[in-house]
Structure 1
Amino acid sequence: MTKTVDQIPLPQASPGTERNLTVVRYRAASARPFVYLQTGLHADELPGMLVLDHLMRKLDEADARGMLEGQIVIVPVANPIGLSQRISRSHIGRFDLDSGSNFNRHYPDIAGPVGDLVDGKLTQSAEGNVARIRSAMARYLASLDDIRDEADELRLRLMRLSCEADIALDLHCDSESIMHLYFLQEHWPQAEDLHRLMASECTLLANKSGGEPFDEALSTPWLELQARFPDLPIPPACLACTVELRGQHDVSDDLAARDADALFRYLQHQGVLSGDPGPLPAPVSSATPLSGVDMIEAPVPGIVSFRADPGDRVKAGTVVAEILDPTTGERTEVTTRQTGVVFGRRAHRLVRPGDIFIKVAGEKTLEGREGQLLTSR
């Protein structure tokens, strides 16, 4: 058995308290391929915790049978800070109550300092360059020791655990949603096997979505280093993906077992586990640009009555919801400007002006969809 379990303490936020990151490792004699998985970064998004429990049970069996060919690192609760936050018996897991920041934003941009560390040391060997850059990433992150904020320290610890991975999967979910994935455009169609195995109904591509989320903190430095050293071979050596496991209430052993089986087969396809994963299933959707997502905002306050469900296909101009002002009885129709699939909507039906409450993904890039492509909050 190669499995180990470690506890990494976070710095004390107040006297008499301590939180820890649980890190589960499965490691063969070769450290490659190295796949990193985490869940619960938004700590009120629970499906991934059940999925990784099912996956680790399968990995325990695989480990006992000698199937490990590479390294797998799993953080089954990536945010013990958010997991502990409650107000009046309501869980608040998306934002740090101390700073107000989104736990999946504001990860350190390491491309500049890493580029400085490897400047003059890269060669015409792509394999050698990848090894040097990974080592520089680890050294730079290890040198950051002056962080005092607990949430920022959490971000740093997660980066240290994952920065040398070949593949990093960050498991999340939306409010009410279908299965969907986020990748760099640069990693398509390389990433199509995960898209097909997870039966993703909506896969969204962008090389930079804004806000510095965890997955892009690992993957975009490779693109920035390519741009800085254009005459040297630097592949996009970390395939990082945010996996959205449907909606917050899609928490069941049946779904979790199905998703864990898909992830197990993906690990086999990637050569981290031995054994026959079987043929790839047919895709159930096509990848589309993140810039083609219509993030529909409420124009007025009121009670939402949806006219479209997650998974529905709609055309531009379709009424997707009405908003009722209960004090007057007036209803305001809300339409989409995109032709595509409704992939997410807000579970809480009371909205204020400017609230994003339903999302439609399509093939056409929409006017104004540039820069900040994700919800800022």
Structure 2
Amino acid sequence: MERSEIIIGGDTAGIEWRVPVYRFKGSDAAAPSVYIQAALHSNELPGTALLHFFLERLRKADGEGAIRGDITVVPQANPIGLAQSHFGEMQGRFDLGSRTNFNRDFPLVALAGRDGLLEGLERRSAADRLKRTLLHTALGADLVLDLHCDDESLQYAYIDEAFWPEAADLASSLDMQAVFLSDGESTAFEEAVGHAFKHQGGDKLKSVPGRLATTVELRGRRDVYPDMAKHDADGLWTFLAGRGIVADPAHQARTYAGPAVPLDNIEMVRAPEPGTILFHRDIGEEVKAGDLLATLIVRPGEADGTLEVTARHDGLVATRSSARHARRGDDLMKIACREATRKDRKPGTLED
């Protein structure tokens, strides 16, 4: 194993950010390579816990000669967000300096233009330098996994249709309960990687066998437990074994049986008015159109002071807000539906 650091100079004097990177050299040049990072949104820590235990297993495997393909692991990818605290709470999703989501504004380049990402870095902000360096590192691999989590959530993933259904082995290995088939039209890290894989120097490819770029949502932000992280680390090992990146004679392939739905099929349940949230349905439940999802107490104490929020389509409750007060328009739930929920969705991400 080789341990190195990405060093990012701060935008003010006396500050420097260091990102540990762990590399394992594979024994088979023909085996796929993989890049895995966690906590690009610094306050999403299930992936960091997973990779802590996964690195233990990789070090053991390295000593046993069981690593066949090159593996790069970044267990805590964003020290800038990790250091942002506002009124006692980490602000790991948005850069407070630029007010930009740490998982947006990644450059969209063809794979052949990878090295151009590092040109003129000294003129860019610390957050931009971090993004470009992470993306440059990831584009050196065949398979790229970006580990995130949602608020209260099932285990699911965003996977570009260009990598599906080949990536069903990842979904089965990590016991995913849903897959959201993305359109690859945003500047999020995963979609910037996917853009490069689909634009390898020529026309856009509709399918990219042997490649993968995905955002894995490891349940909710509070789901950080040792047994859960170890189980997920075992699932990640199973995925790598199936792809021939690690050697495991005991590996057994499994079939993914959950739903895989396009983003047009995701019903974003939002609060029509501000109020206190009383949820009636939980993640993992199947709902029918018209089912009561939540009651909003919009005028406490008044006889007509509540507002009911109901499902517009049949589907699976995939995520739920952990907050119990909503501003007007706040997201309450995501429901994975069997049919398109709207026809005017703009390509790109579901949330900012």
TM-score w.r.t. length of structure 2: 0.93
Alignment deviations for residues 109-149 of structure 1 (CA, whole Å, 9 cap, x no partner): 113xxxxxxxxxxxxxxxxxxxxx4xx23322233435421
Distance 1:175 1:193, change over 3 A: same
User: What is the CA–CA distance in structure 2 between the aligned matches of 1:293 and 1:83, rounded to whole Å?
Assistant: 30
The answer for the alignment partner of 1:211 in structure 2 is 186
Aligned partner of 2:241 in structure 1 is 268
Change (3 A) 1:36 1:93: same
Greater CA drift, 22-31 or 220-229: 220-229
Q: Secondary structure at the match of 1:228?
A: coil
In 2, Cα distance between equivalents of 1:252 and 1:282: 26
Structure 1: gaps of 5 or more residues:
112-132
- Corresponding position: 1:168 with 2:167: no
C-alpha change, 1:357 and 1:342, in structure 2 (3 Å) is same
Match of 1:104 in 2: 103
Return 5+ residue gaps in structure 2 as ranges.
none
Kept in 1, the 8 Å contact 2:9–2:15? The answer is: no
Question: In 2, Cα distance between the equivalents of 1:154 and 1:363?
Answer: 39
Partner of 2:15: 17
Deviation sequence 1:185-237 (CA, Å, 0-9, x none) = 121110011111111111110232x431100101123334587278xx98455
The one-letter code matched in structure 1 to 2:158 is Y
Work out whether residues 226 and 234 of structure 1, in 8 Å CA contact, stay in contact via their aligned partners in 2. Answer: no
Partner AA of 2:228 in structure 1: L
What is the letter of the counterpart of residue 10 of structure 1? I
Aligned to 1:323: 296
Which digits, 9 at most, give the CA deviation of each residue in 1:36-95, with x for residues without a partner?
000000110111111000100000110000011110000011110111111111111111
Q: Is the 8 A contact 2:121 2:129 kept in 1?
A: no
Asked whether the 8 Å contact 2:241–2:251 carries over to 1, the reply is: no
User: CA separation in 2, counterparts of 1:279 and 1:34?
Assistant: 21
Distance 1:62 1:280 in 2: 20
CA contact (8 A) 1:29 1:69 kept: yes
What is the alpha-carbon distance in structure 2 between the residues aligned to residue 358 and residue 236 of structure 1? 33
Q: Distance in 2 between matches of 1:27 and 1:81?
A: 29
Q: Can you list the C-alpha shifts for 1:257-311, whole angstroms capped at 9, x where unaligned?
A: 1000010111111111112253223434121112100111110000111111010
Distance in structure 2 (CA, Å) of the matches to 1:363 and 1:260: 31
Match of 2:321 in 1: 346
**Deviation for aligned residue 1:315:** 1.3
Q: What's the secondary structure of 1:358's corresponding residue?
A: strand
Q: 1:295 to 1:229 in 2, by over 3 A?
A: closer
Q: 1:61 to 1:338 in 2, by over 3 A?
A: same
Q: What is the CA–CA distance in structure 1 between the aligned matches of 2:201 and 2:113, rounded to whole Å? A: 15
CA distance in 1 between counterparts of 2:309 and 2:215 reads 29
CA contact (8 A) 1:268 1:277 kept: no
* Structure 1 residues 181 and 277: CA distance shift in structure 2, 3 A: farther
1:179 matched residue in structure 2: 155
Equivalence for 1:371: 346
The question of whether the paired residues in 2 share the 8 Å contact of 1:48 and 1:171 is answered with yes
Moved more, 326-335 or 265-274: 326-335
Per-residue CA deviation, residues 142-201 of structure 1 (Å, 9 max, x unaligned), is: 334354211111110101110121100000111100100110112111001111111111
Decide whether the 8 Å contact of 2:163 with 2:208 is kept in 1.
no
The aligned residue for residue 232 of structure 2 is 259
Distance in 1, matches of 2:80 and 2:22, equals 19
Aligned residue number for residue 93 of structure 2: 94
Alignment partner, residue 37 of structure 1 = 36
Root mean square deviation of aligned Cα: 2.0
Q: Secondary structure at the match of 1:57?
A: helix
Distance 1:365 1:264 in 2: 35
User: Which residue in the other structure is 2:269 paired with?
Assistant: 296
The alpha-carbon deviation at position 372 of structure 1 amounts to 4.1
Written as runs of structure 1 = structure 2, the 5 A alignment for 1:141-156 is 141-145=117-121, 147-156=123-132
1:281, 1:235 → 2: CA distance?
A: 22
- Structure 1 distance, partners of 2:97, 2:209, is 35
Partner in structure 1 of residue 53 of structure 2? 54
Q: What letter matches 2:245 in structure 1?
A: V
Answer with 51-60 or 138-147: which moved more: 138-147
Q: Structure 2: how far apart are the matches of 1:162 and 1:201? A: 26
Give, as a single letter, the amino acid of the residue that structure 2 aligns with 1:26.
F
Alignment correspondent of 1:67 = 66
Would you say how many aligned residue pairs link Structure 1 and Structure 2?
Answer: 349
In structure 2, what residue type is equivalent to 1:332? L
**Map 1:273-292 → 2, pairs under 5 A:** 273-292=246-265
Larger deviation, residues 82-91 vs 322-331:
322-331
Moved more, 31-40 or 174-183: 31-40
> Against the structure 1 CA distance between its residues 37 and 273, is the aligned structure 2 distance closer, same or farther, given a 3 Å change threshold?
same
Tell me the CA shift for residue 366 of structure 1.
2.0
1:137–1:8 distance in 2 versus 1, CA, 3 Å: same
Structure 2 contact 69–245 (Cα < 8 Å) conserved? yes
